[in-house]
Amino acid sequence: MLLSEVVDASREVGATRSRTAKTRVVAALLARAEPAECAVVASWLAGEPRQRKVGVGWRTLSSHAEPAPGTTTAEGSAPLDVVAVDALLDGLATTAGAGAAARRGALLDELFAPATADERSFLVRLLTGELRQGALEAVVLDAVAQASGAPAALVRRAAMLSGSLPTTAHAALNGGAEALEAVRLEVGRPVHPMLASPGGTLEDVLADAAQRALDVVVEPKLDGARIQVHLDRGADVPVRVWTRTLREVTDGLPEVAAQVLALPCETAVLDGETLALDDDGRPRPFQDTMSRFGSDEGSEVLLSPFFFDLLHLDGRDLLDEPLAARLVALDGLLAAPGHAPLRMPGARGASADEAAAVLERALADGHEGVVVKDLAAPYAAGRRGRAWQKVKPVHTLDLLVVGAEWGYGRRTGSLSNIHLAARDPGGGAPLVVGKTFKGMTDALLAWQTATFPGLATAEHRWGLELRPELVVEVAVDGAQRSTRYPGGVALRFARVLRYRPDKTADQADDVEAVRALLV
């Protein structure tokens, strides 16, 4: 398959807001791909190289992508094909050590020299992450189902269990439903975590559950970092830990590993939250927890793990069991004496009063709110469903920063007013829903000013347009209808609470979550 065919499909996908139309275009392309090309094409259309990162920044890319003055692009060269481009990207991703910059430069020239202007622009956007727009992954998974004839639920499940879209596309398109069914939870390979969706007030969420005749558990929502911990005593590294974005952090969290090693089992996959606590057990600021996940090697804060789900125990997969059964297994495992408490208890089958008491206690203890969970629901990742709903006292949204304006007055020289966008659930470009310069400390302003230029896709007199990659959590008073913003909705009084380095763009809230706040 030629690169130009993928570029044309990508353009078509971008040109329509209809999710059905996008899915159709992607499915048609995947159906034409050769067996060896499926994984690559699926990955590109979801906005990511198969290699995920190739280690080349925007400036280097654009300097190589710019045709030398006087040369005519692409004429006379053989057209680029998908497999050849993927092989060059492999080369880029694995080039390291002395002389790497020069070798990368040569590979980039090899990549761009035969490319047409459209192909260059596609490749630059692919490699800088600009094409990566959360919802696209869901569109591509649906298209994989369409093109392979396998049920969409089976495709999504394989993606959750393998943690990899290319692997899933390859299995579906080459081996059909049978190959997808063979994708199982493997201890030692992280699965995509189940997500919570923003709920309204506790009363609303409970009333909604009652109406649907659901039994729920109300658990404190800890304000830390999501961790997925795999224990396998037979493995070289018995305990391994991943973040919400499936980044491995095993080496960085020995104290978490030690606690899990003390559990009375041979194999387990645990899902939970880890956070830094004060001596009196109150959560320390979120930044203290995150300091253990960044490049700040010197951080000496200790983290405490708390688990709220169990996906596997001693050879038994629990993912498809209802939460009620998973919690019985989890409580049984964690009840063994001899280790620190690893569970923040919630209230099961709670009455409205008991649920309110859990929320009150959680807030009094310094936590964020509660998560209300359907006790009958299996563990399901990918889409934010209503099986887990989070309730917080203030409305907060996780939005994408897509632009920043130069400040004035005291903020002259700082990138200050940020443009906030929500994901388009149809897979289109993020939709701007507001701006804010509130809630920023001087340190945060300095960080923005230093960080944003590395994400710039265009420079203007007023400021920068940014690749939609950074997720920022804002508090808002609500939302109102707007004729000015493309999603038809604008935030009311947004202020920055913090950046969320633990979240990727596809985990930002979508415009429906913003519309849900319309008063």
Question: Which stretches of the chain bind ligand AMP, using CB under 6 A?
Answer: 196, 219, 221-222, 226, 244, 273, 308, 371, 388, 390
> Toward ligand AMP, which CB reaches closer, 386 or 390?
390
**Nearest of 451, 509, 501 to residue 286 by alpha carbon:** 501
* Minimal distance, residue 449 CB to ligand AMP, in Å: 26
Q: How far is the CB of 412 from ligand AMP (least distance, A)?
A: 34
Residue 246 CA to residue 265 CA, distance in Å, equals 24
Cα separations in angstroms, 518 against 179, 417, 478: 44, 23, 6
The question of whether 22 is a catalytic residue gets the answer no
As measured in angstroms, the least distance from the Cβ of 467 to ligand AMP is 22
Q: Which residues pair with 348 in a beta bridge?
A: 217
Q: How far is the CB of 191 from ligand AMP (least distance, A)?
A: 13
User: C-beta of 87: minimal distance to ligand AMP in Å?
Assistant: 37
Q: How far apart are CA 241 and CA 229, in angstroms?
A: 5
**Closer of 191 and 222 to ligand AMP (Cβ):** 222
Provide the minimum distance between the beta carbon of 308 and ligand AMP in the complex, in angstroms, as a whole number: 4
Pick 103 or 226: Cβ nearer ligand AMP: 226
CA dist., res. 495 & res. 443, Å (int): 16
**Minimum CB distance to ligand AMP smaller for 152 or for 195:** 195
Cα–Cα dist 431/264, whole Å: 49
* Side-by-side strand order, sheet with 303-313: 239-242, 225-232, 267-276, 303-313, 316-317
Evaluate whether 1 touches 82 at the Cβ level (below 8 Å).
Answer: yes
Task: State the residue number with the nearest CB to ligand AMP.
Answer: 226
Tokens of 377: 């629901």
Max CA separation in the chain (angstroms) = 75
Pick between residue 3 and residue 387 the one whose CB is nearest to ligand AMP. Answer: 387
Amino acid at 338: G
Amino acid letter, residue 482: S
Residue carrying the six token digits 């590993």: 257
* 8 Å CB contact between 219 and 271: no
Residue whose CB is less far from ligand AMP, 272 or 487: 272
Q: CA 58, CA 61: separation in Å to the nearest integer?
A: 5
| Main-chain dihedrals φ then ψ at residue 414, nearest 5 degrees | -110, 145
Whether 27 and 143 have beta carbons less than 8 Å apart is answered as yes
b/e per residue 412-435 (b: at least 16 CB within 10 A):
eebbbbbbbbbbbbbbbbbbbbbb
Which residue, 369 or 403, has its beta carbon nearer to ligand AMP? 369
Q: Write down the least CB distance from residue 226 to ligand AMP, Å.
A: 3
202-211 helix and 352-364 helix, angle to the nearest 10 degrees = 150
Nearer to ligand AMP by Cβ, of 42 and 194: the residue is 194
Distance between alpha carbon 76 and the CA centroid of its chain, in Å? 42
Question: From the CB of 45, what's the least distance to ligand AMP, in Å?
Answer: 26
Report the distance separating Cα 437 and Cα 180, nearest Å. Answer: 47
Helix ranges (H only) for 57-134 are 58-65, 82-94, 100-112, 117-128
When the beta carbons of 166 and 369 are compared against ligand AMP, the nearer one is 369
State the catalytic residue, choosing from 221, 373, 392, 503.
Answer: 221
Smallest gap, in angstroms, from Cβ of residue 2 to ligand AMP?
A: 40
Pick between residue 123 and residue 347 the one whose CB is nearest to ligand AMP: 347
Q: What are 446's two structure tokens? A: 């300095």
Contact 235, 216 (CB under 8 A): no
Query: Cα(202)–Cα(65) distance, rounded to whole angstroms?
Result: 52
Question: What is the C-alpha to C-alpha distance for residues 358 and 356, in angstroms, rounded to an integer?
Answer: 5
Smallest separation, CB 358 to ligand AMP (Å): 11
Active site residues: 221
